[in-house]
Amino acid sequence: MSRRPGTAAALEIVFGLFLHTFGIGWMYAGKVGMGIFIMLSWWVVVFINYLLLHVLIGFVTWPLCLLFAMIVSPILASRAARYEPLAA
């Protein structure tokens, strides 16, 4: 089944921007394990940045991490949707 790369990227952007959850585009692309890994990893990054807010550096690191994820995650999800795994 062919997955559309634009849809995978759009899912990453929409869910990342509004729900701060990344990995949905990977799940759409058929890479459920990687999608769950990215989702859990992002939540760990958010938790660490929340702790860093108490020493004020989190006000710098949180937006930078979000910006990085908003740029890189849709690109990688669209690439994952573009390439189909070989049939066994």
Is 87 a domain residue? no
For residue 64, name the pLDDT band (cuts at 50, 70, 90): very high
Determine the pLDDT at residue 33: 92
Sign of CA dihedral 28, 79, 68, 32: positive
| Structural domain range at position 18 | 5-82
What gap in Å lies between CA 3 and CA 9, rounded to an integer? 11
Number of domains composing the chain: 1
Q: What's the predicted TM-score (pTM) here?
A: 0.81
The verdict on residue 88 lying in a domain is: no
The CA-based angle 67-27-34, given to 5 degrees, is 75
Q: What is the pLDDT of residues 18-51, one digit of tens each?
A: 988 899 999 998 889 999 999 999 999 999 999 9
58-82 vs 32-52: helix axis angle to the nearest 10? 170
Q: What's the confidence (pLDDT) of residue 14?
A: 93
> What confidence score (pLDDT) does residue 30 get?
86
Of 16-20, 59-63, 80-84, highest mean pLDDT: 59-63
**Amino acid letter, 18:** F
